[in-house]
Amino acid sequence: MCDVSIEFKKELHYGDQVKVSVGATAFDKIGFDLHYLLEVHKKGEVFLAAKAKTGMMCYDYSAKKKVPVPIEASGKLSPNP
């Protein structure tokens, strides 16, 4: 992970039912972004509790260098056409 941002929108409480959605975007040669939505379901309504983004970078720890995103990973994370 090379960066992260979080926006808190609504307070959560113990026992709240929270739906978490994750999607990948912005693929480039060595990384991509993951976007998160946290929604709380309460009394038949849905409220945005938080949204976040993490910038992900592929890295080879033994070679100590950035590496391209594996084709298998980008294929599984990219939305279907």
What is the number of structural domains in the chain? 1
Q: What is the CATH number of the domain that holds 31?
A: 3.10.129.10
**Tokens in use for 42?**
């309460």
Residues 37-49: pLDDT tens digits?
A: 999 998 889 999 9
Look up the domain containing 7 and give its range.
3-73
pLDDT in the model for residue 9: 97
pLDDT at 16: 92
**Has residue 79 been placed in a domain?**
no
Q: Is residue 60 part of a domain?
A: yes
Alpha carbons 21 and 48: distance in angstroms, whole number: 11
Higher pLDDT, residue 65 or 73: 65
- Residue 81 in any domain: the answer is no
DSSP string covering 26-54, please?
A: ---SSEEEEEEEEEEEETTEEEEEEEEEE
